[in-house]
Structure 1
Amino acid sequence: MNTVDAILEWLDGYIVDRPKTVVLAFLLLTAGFATGLGSISTDAGTSQFVEGVPAQEAFEEVNDEFESATFEADTGPTTLIQRGENVLAQPELVRMLELQQRLREREDLRIVGQSSAATLIATRLNPNATTLAAQEDALRNATPSEIDQAIKAAAAGPGLTAILSDDFNPTAGAASATIGTVTHEVPQGLSSSTGTSGTSPLTEIQQSVQSVAERSSGDFTVFGSGIISGELTGVIGDSLTIVVPAALVLILVFLLFAYRDPIDLVLGLIALGMTIIWTFGFMGHAGIPFGQMTIAVPVLLLAVGIDFGIHAINRYREERATGAGVRESMRPTTDQLLVAFFIVTGTTVLGFAANLLSNLAPIRDFGAAAGIGIVFTFLIFGIFLPSMKILLDEWREQVNFPSFGTKPIGSGGSAFSAALTSGHKIASRTPKLLLAVLLVTGGVAGAYGTGVDTSFSQEDFLPPEELPDYVQSLPGPLAPGDYTVTETLNNLEEDFESFEGSGSVTVFIETPLRRDDALEQIYRATGNPQESFVTTNRRAQAQGIIQVIQTQAEQDQTFAALVARNDRNDNGVPDDNLEVIYEYLLDSPARGQALSYISDDFRQTRVVITADPEYSQSEIAADGQAFTDRFRFTAIATGQTVVFAAITDIILESALLSLVAALIATAGFLIFIYWLLEDRPSLGVVNLIPIMVAIAWLAGTMRYFDIPLNALTATVLSIAIGLGIDYSAHIVHRFGEEYEELEGDVEMALDNTIRGTGGALAGSMLTTTFGTGVLGLAITPVLGQFGLVIALSVAYSFIASLLVTPPTAILWHRHVA
């Protein structure tokens, strides 16, 4: 007896001979894992991807070097979007100031600065109106002609036009929309991370601002990172609420077809439930957060678990059809399937574990959770389910419980069975031609698929602007929340040229800013900007300490005079007595805004350059680096766009690295395991060829349907190996045993294999394809794309296992065996 047989004999001693002990042990383990369910944390949005990324670490290092993370206390802005027939009309301007005043009265909003078109115009009317109340009085007491003159004067400066919609008419003094900004002091550390999380410090603050705005008399929309964070968190729960019931319904339908027996159906569902409890309990105990990516984990585990369950029940029924008893039938079933399940588990874990090589933490967490979940699936379906099946069938015989569908799937001479064996029939006649055609189609699809795009953006994780009709018509408990962020983002980019830069580059500069030419150098650098930067009068659209100075000068006549006295070339940028100007700002209401762009020791500053979103993140990041090269002092380009560009590169690198690692590891594992089990290592290559063809088809399909490699779909290529190898592994392992028993009769071995295993594979494929395909119902686009490509990978793997394996096995028999 060899080692494998000894292990199987030992396991049979428990599974078949002591089933009650096995069932009790697994139920106790389930109770233990269930205690970890309450410890699962949620992590949503893009900020989870920046951890460990070199560009993000550089950003954090810069913040640390520049002290106070960043520049004294952290601040966060809230955008107030006002719309109307003419937001520059006196009543609308007053409404904006009334809202600003109500917000200022709320201490919990921690407001350190406010600005709007209304404040700019009011200070043009009365330069001494430094408070919101005084500015409101200035607007109420002004005549329409005085307001028109104030608008024209303000429009001549740099501040007003940037916060008015693109339809602004300076002659008529009219615009349909404007942006106001409220700046809040928030807990330190906000600025040290790019991206948006599901737990932003601004979420509660901005939701309060939204509540105040909804009660105001004007048409206001509140927007900011906190609002985005709130929706990112909500979309996870809503997606699960939609996806899980839909998946369960589809799974039930296909399991009814596969099992055709209520007892077996309940047993399969219990095993699936235990798999989910074990996996999520482990995540809770191990501190692996639940985010958008891990929504896919239960779906993948259900896919593999359903496959294992159908194979176990189907193989057991084959033995029972010979007239053998319950335990006599289960022993050869477990002897064969434990080996097959081990092969599938090993290759699947290797496919998922290849994602541990990624430099992105969420992808590593996904790989770890999915990998350990597959191990749990193997244990539950390979050991618990057979033992429970023995107990149930013995109980069934004792109480004479009626039998339902007990025939194996694909048995007999049905049309379904004929369809399964069609690939084998063609391969029997022309194996070389069939394999050549399949390999060529795979090669063409793979070559075409090398052009697939790579992307990473916040929009991947946000719900679409308009939810599908089926989502909007869902009844009460299933109905999703209201999502407005995407619509607001699109409207901002459409209506405001200045907001086209939802992409931007933040340039950190370190130099003695007291030097007379410090600000002048920064100002000159923004002239003749890089191609991807948004321009105003052939100058890069920027926000920094220079713009704070200019805005304050428009509102404060005394400060304007101070700037003018120290502006030698009359371009609005002071170049004398800069320390005096900075000190004035820090003693003014603009202190909060000033300290968000300059450090209090006047040695570091930052400039935010608006970028055109029509350019790619990599192009914007490259232009940001070119911009820093213009300075003679230390300047570093960073910020969300630069970090996201780096993540995009990492995603592609991770996808390719994981694919190569999964292929090499899987090939090595299959060659070793078939050498160990069958003394035929070359069967490992036979096992691998179908999945390589399936992956090539998948890559070509992704490019054809314009599905990019993003944070989630980047894992698909390695996952496709893990899931897809399942189908060819079952066939090749069964073929190896049949080939040995039939003493090299390759045709009969293939026929027995495909008829016996192909039916179970078909049931598994249908259940898995539709079960993972329901991710397409998720509200988040990235999950929909992931569900589609997983479903395609499973379908392609099934087709390849039935079409590619037979000619490969026949040629293997002729030339290798």
Structure 2
Amino acid sequence: MNYQRLIDWVDDRITESPGKVILAFLLVTAVFFTGLGSVESESGQQQFIEDLSSFEAFEDIQRNFNESFSETDLSTTILVDSQNALSKQGLLRTLRGQKRLEEYDPLIVISSDSPAETVARELDPDASTVSEMILAVESATEGEIDSAVRSVDAVGGGLGDVSDDFNPEAASATAAEMSITHEGSEEPNNREEKINRVLSTVDGKFRVLGDAPDTNTTSLLIVMPAALFFITLFLIVAYRDLIDLLIGLLAIVITLIWTFGFLGLAGIPFSVLIVAVPPLLIAVGIDFGIHSVNRYREETVKGKGIVESMRITTDQLLVAFFIVTGTSTIGFLSNLVSAFPPVRDFGLAAAVGISFTFLIFGIFLPSMKVYADRSRESLPIPQMGNTPLGSDESPLGKALSVGVVAADKAPVALLVVIVASTGAVGVYATGVDTGFGPDDFLPSAETPDYLQSLPESIRPPAEYDYVKNDNFRDRKFDQTDQVLMYVQGPMERNGALDQIDRVGKTPPPTFERDGGRVDDSSVIGIIEAVAETDPRFAELVERNDANGDGVPENNLDEVYDALYDTPSSGISNFVSEDRDSARIVYSVDTDASDTAVTEDAYALADRYRYDAQPTGFAVIFQEATDVIFTTVVESLVLTLIGAAIFLVAVYWVLKGKPALGIVNTFPIITTVVLIVATMRYFDISFNVINGSIVAITIGLGIDYSVHVVHRFADEFEEKDLIPALRRTVVGTGGALTGSMLTTVFGVGVIGLAVNPALAVFGILTASSVFYAYLTSLFLLPTVVVAWERLVGFR
């Protein structure tokens, strides 16, 4: 394949018409700049789990078993923190808070709901407004209120959301949940702040659960300046020339504009994972830039002119950059197999971004360099440094040669040690965990002190009220000990309730028991409770109970109508208004693992004649965990196989040496093993954020080994094995060292992000780059020498 003709054409454009190339890139930049304003932000855990069947069922339950509201309406949860939220005083505080919120015009409250409302309706079934409910509670005695609480709880557990310390006998609970629904189209600014202000006029403690904090923007504002500082610092050391530094920084800025402009034009939302894209592209761009300038300087110090030096540089590096771009793209695109939309978006954004990086640093930067150096010849522009990083006699060059010296003395023995060590570490790495939970997305309730010393414009809040209130909710309301079953089918059909009764007669191992059958809350429990207190309803049930088991089989529409006529029955919590679905709540063993609970939940769902989908926090998070594991494995396999095939094919076509492609993969395998083992050692689990770290490790790490192998292939055509390898490691190793330091610090600053998962992601990415650097310069020479002496490349 005569790829040289294409490279020569690019060389001509770069060296003969650099101004036209620069102008063309700037025009394209202007086009992508128009897309920056269209980038939308997306945060929170829901974006990762919205496609899971269990979460879809959870959303259906939320819609079908609550008062209906339009898609634009908003719901706000408010936690009532009290010594006893179910006492007369506690109920009145809640109801008065509801009344004040309904009277606050900007909210346009459509409906509100709370346990206090349920108890008030039990005291006075005719109370239809909050004001009437307040009168019902005010006119009742403490004993009447306690009796009403116990009565409501007895009817299918229809009291509502109260804390886990609820005591039916004492009719007490230290917390309760209130929810309000209001028109989203009329949502006021600072909704959470305004609700807090309204509730502050009521005697009592309320905690408003507003929107989760946007840690994406906050993290980006913290990370980018820090990354820019370290990047600029190390680029100064690497370039040692103001003009070259400015060219490198300009190329980085254009890369980011192209990438984010593409996101806006393509409608890809800016999610928490996308925060990691800029540092990744900067890392690769820096690597390309340093290699370009360093290789160019290797030729100019020999006395060659601008055109000849740049042609030699681009002849070699355009091919290397293409290989790096190809393998990195394969690694990033492997994320498209993920079941999580943000991970797929991240993979696409990173793949497109790395392609832009190839064009900008492979063509635009060399054109700028030629243009600038020609301008130096005609203008009094000083050149501060023009020597390459690393030489045979420099301390860095001598340090980099260690791997070559060792490989020359005992390559086979060292290779055996490397393979055995990698295998042992790999076995250890297989013990890494996989997990998913809401805490993966939330910052700490209190941010670290060192972040509070930042300028006000980028300083995060000292405390996140949402996190504090969410932690309070987790302590008071344990929702992980329940499994919800969403059953879809005509619930008014004869015998529809029999299947709910039949399924519950044989509880799975992890499900709690009540008198030999499963402990559940369903419409059947409501029917039994109402029948005990209402003789007319009991007669209706008996008349339609063909087999006398207490569960009516016939005329279920009539039975449901009678239940709706009993306001405190709670029927709307278990049968949808259109009677096409039902909700059953099962109690499960709190000590059982999510895996066991989920397996039992799906086994129970299979017993239903109608379509049944288990959901609940345990099921959703376990399903997400299973998907993460599958994604990690699939991504690893696809990336390794795809990269290996690509490398073998490229080296076969370009150099006629396919074995170089196989050699190229050795450092990557070791790097992947090391990063996964590091995760296990520090007890870091794969989650939806860092689940792509394997693909990223391969995509970024292969960058280092490609530069070494491709440079070696060129040097090996003119020199013997060891001299060629030493020239490669010293020449390319200098640029790789500068690139590694810049990348490790530039990407490592993601560890400052307030989002904990993103911070860990940044540290892992920086670690993977460091491992890739070590394996490429100190392990790869052993593999190259051993392969040449045992098999041969020629």
Identical counterparts, % of pairs: 42
Once the two structures are superposed, residues 225-274 of structure 1 have per-residue CA deviations (whole angstroms, 9 ceiling, x without a partner) of: xx3xx325x22111111111121112112212211222111111100000
* Contact kept in structure 1, 2:524 and 2:551, CA below 8 Å: yes
- Tell me which residue corresponds to 2:486: 507
1:431 CA displacement: 1.3
User: Is the Cα–Cα contact under 8 Å of residues 483 and 614 in structure 2 kept in the other structure?
Assistant: no
- C-alpha contact 2:521 2:584 (8 A) present in aligned 1: yes
Q: Which residue of 2 aligns with 1:764?
A: 739
Q: Secondary structure at the match of 2:670?
A: helix
> 1:669 aligned to 2:668?
no
Tell me how far apart the structure 2 counterparts of residues 575 and 206 of structure 1 sit (CA, whole Å).
Answer: 47
CA separation of 1:543 and 1:759: change in aligned 2, threshold 3 A: farther
Alignment equivalent of 2:557, drawn from 571, 576, 579 = 579
- How does 1:343-362 map onto structure 2 within 5 Å? 343-362=323-342
Hey, what does 1:195 align to over in structure 2?
A: none
Is residue 2:712 matched to residue 1:735?
A: yes
TM-score, normalised to structure 2's length?
0.88
Aligned-pair CA distance for 1:794: 0.7
Q: Return the offset for 1:618.
A: 3.6
* Cα distance in 2 for residues equivalent to 1:174 and 1:70: 26
The alpha carbon displacement at 1:574 in A equals: 7.8
- Segments of structure 1 that go 5 or more residues without pairing to the other structure are 188-198
- Return the alpha-carbon distance in structure 1 between the equivalents of residues 355 and 527 of structure 2: 62
Residue matched to 2:82: 84
Q: Is the 8 A contact 1:564 1:572 kept in 2?
A: no
- Distance (whole Å) between structure 1 residues aligned to residue 453 and residue 697 of structure 2: 34
2:97 alignment counterpart: 99
Determine which of 493, 516, 522 is the counterpart of 2:500: 522
1:281 is aligned to 2:253: no
Q: Indicate yes or no: 2:293 matched with 1:313.
A: yes
Contact 2:57 2:486 in 1 (8 A): no
TM-superposed deviation, 1:279 = 1.0
Query: Which residue among 673, 676, 680 is the counterpart of 2:657?
Result: 680
Contact 1:505 1:621 in 2 (8 A): no
Q: Which deviates further from its counterpart, 520-529 or 341-350?
A: 520-529
**1:617–1:645: 8 Å Cα contact kept in structure 2?**
yes
- The residue that corresponds to 1:752 in the other structure is 727
Structure 1 residue aligned with 2:137, among 136, 139, 143? 139
Shift of 1:29: 1.1
CA distance in 2, matches of 1:774, 1:104: 46
Residue in 1 that maps onto 2:702: 725
2:451 is paired with a residue whose SS is helix
TM-score w.r.t. the length of structure 1 is: 0.86
- For residues 424-573 of structure 1, the aligned pairs below 5 Å read 424-481=404-461, 483-497=464-478, 499-501=479-481, 504-513=483-492, 515=494, 518-519=496-497, 522=500, 525-526=503-504, 529-533=507-511, 544-545=522-523, 562-563=536-537, 566=540
Distance 1:550 1:109 in 2: 38
Instruction: Indicate the SS of the match to 1:3.
Output: coil
Query: 1:512 and 1:51, CA in 2 relative to 1: closer, same or farther beyond 3 A?
Result: closer
Q: 1:402 to 1:539 in 2, by over 3 A?
A: farther
For the residues of structure 2 that align with 1:612 and 1:263, how far apart are their CA atoms? 67
Partners of 1:154 and 1:512 lie apart in 2 by 24
Distance of 2:615 and 2:169 partners within structure 1: 39
What is the rounded CA distance, in whole Å, between the counterparts of 1:92 and 1:640 in structure 2? Answer: 29
Amino acid across the alignment from 2:48: F
Q: What is the distance in 2 between the residues matched to 1:111 and 1:409?
A: 68
Does the alignment pair 1:796 with 2:771?
Answer: yes
2: CA distance between counterparts of 1:521 and 1:533? 18
Structure 1 SS opposite 2:419: helix
User: Map of 1:99-248 to 2, 5 A cutoff?
Assistant: 99-105=97-103, 108-112=107-111, 114-116=113-115, 118-122=116-120, 129=127, 131-143=129-141, 159=157, 163-168=161-166, 174-175=172-173, 177-182=174-179, 184=181, 209-223=195-209, 227=210, 230-231=211-212, 234-248=214-228
Deviates more, 1:456-465 or 1:797-806: 456-465
| 1:404 matched to 2:401 | no
CA distance in structure 2 between the aligned counterparts of 1:161 and 1:52, rounded to whole angstroms: 32
Cα-to-partner distance string for 1:395-426 (whole Å, 9 max, x where unaligned): 23333333323321122533332222222222
1:594 CA drift (Å): 4.7
**Superposed displacement of residue 347, structure 1:** 1.3
| 1:152 Cα offset (Å) | 6.1
CA change 1:676–1:371 in 2 (3 A) is same
CA distance in 1, matches of 2:125, 2:449: 53
Question: 1:21 deviation in Å?
Answer: 1.1
8 Å CA contact 1:166, 1:495 repeated in 2 = yes
**Contact 2:175–2:476, Cα closer than 8 Å, also in 1:** no
Map residues 54-93 of structure 1 onto 2, 5 A cutoff.
Answer: 78-93=76-91
Question: Match of 2:605, as an amino acid?
Answer: T
C-alpha change, 1:329 and 1:628, in structure 2 (3 Å) is closer
C-alpha change, 1:581 and 1:247, in structure 2 (3 Å) is same
CA deviations 1:532-565 (Å, max 9, x no partner) are 45678887665554677799x69xx9x9565455
How far apart, CA to CA, are the structure 2 residues paired with 1:161 and 1:529?
Answer: 25
Given that 1:241 and 1:478 are in contact with CA atoms closer than 8 Å, whether structure 2 keeps it comes out as yes
Displacement of 1:345 after TM fit?
1.2
The structure-2 alpha-carbon separation of the partners of 1:543 and 1:160, relative to structure 1 and needing over 3 Å to count, comes to closer
Q: Does 1:620 align with 2:597?
A: yes
Secondary structure of the residue aligned to 1:741 is coil
After TM superposition, give the deviation of residue 13 of structure 1 in Å: 0.7
Deviation at 1:209, TM superposition (A): 4.6
CA 1:50–1:70 in structure 2 vs 1: closer, same or farther (change >3 Å)? farther
Q: For the residues of structure 2 that align with 1:466 and 1:573, how far apart are their CA atoms? A: 53
> In 2, are the aligned partners of 1:563 and 1:573 still within 8 Å (CA)?
no
| 1:330 shift after superposition | 1.7
**Which has the larger displacement, 728-737 or 398-407?**
398-407
Q: Report the Cα offset of residue 765 of structure 1.
A: 0.9
Q: Which moved more, 1:269-278 or 1:347-356?
A: 347-356
| Distance (whole Å) between structure 1 residues aligned to residue 189 and residue 552 of structure 2 | 38
Give 1:192's aligned residue: none
| Per-residue Cα deviation, 1:121-165 (whole angstroms, up to 9, x for no partner) | 545655665543333234334555665666666666664887444
C-alpha RMSD over aligned residues: 3.8
Change (3 A) 1:162 1:357: closer
- CA drift of 1:348 comes to 1.2
* 2:765 partner SS: helix
**Whole-angstrom distance in 1 between the partners of 2:684 and 2:131:** 53
Assess if the C-alpha contact under 8 Å between 2:651 and 2:661 holds in 1.
yes
Assess, with a 3 A threshold, how the Cα gap between structure 1 residues 734 and 659 changes in structure 2: closer, same or farther.
same
Tell me how far 1:280 sits from its aligned partner: 1.2
Q: 1:547 to 1:309 in 2, by over 3 A?
A: farther
Moved more, 433-442 or 46-55: 46-55
- 1:194 is matched with none
Instruction: Give the 3 Å change call, closer, same or farther, for CA 541–130 of structure 1 in structure 2.
Output: farther
Q: Measured at CA, do residues 57 and 126 of structure 1 come closer, stay the same or move farther in structure 2, by a change above 3 Å?
A: closer
Question: Which amino acid in 1 is paired with 2:469?
Answer: T
> Residues 548 and 101 (structure 1 numbering): CA distance in 2 closer, same or farther, change over 3 Å?
farther
> Offset at 1:7?
2.1
Measure, in 2, the Cα distance between the counterparts of 1:57 and 1:100: 30
Deviates more, 1:606-615 or 1:311-320: 606-615
Query: Counterpart of 1:812 in structure 2: which amino acid?
Result: W
User: Any idea what SS the aligned residue of 1:710 has?
Assistant: coil
Q: Which amino acid aligns with 1:93?
A: L
Q: Give the Cα separation in 2 of the matches to 1:312 and 1:782.
A: 34
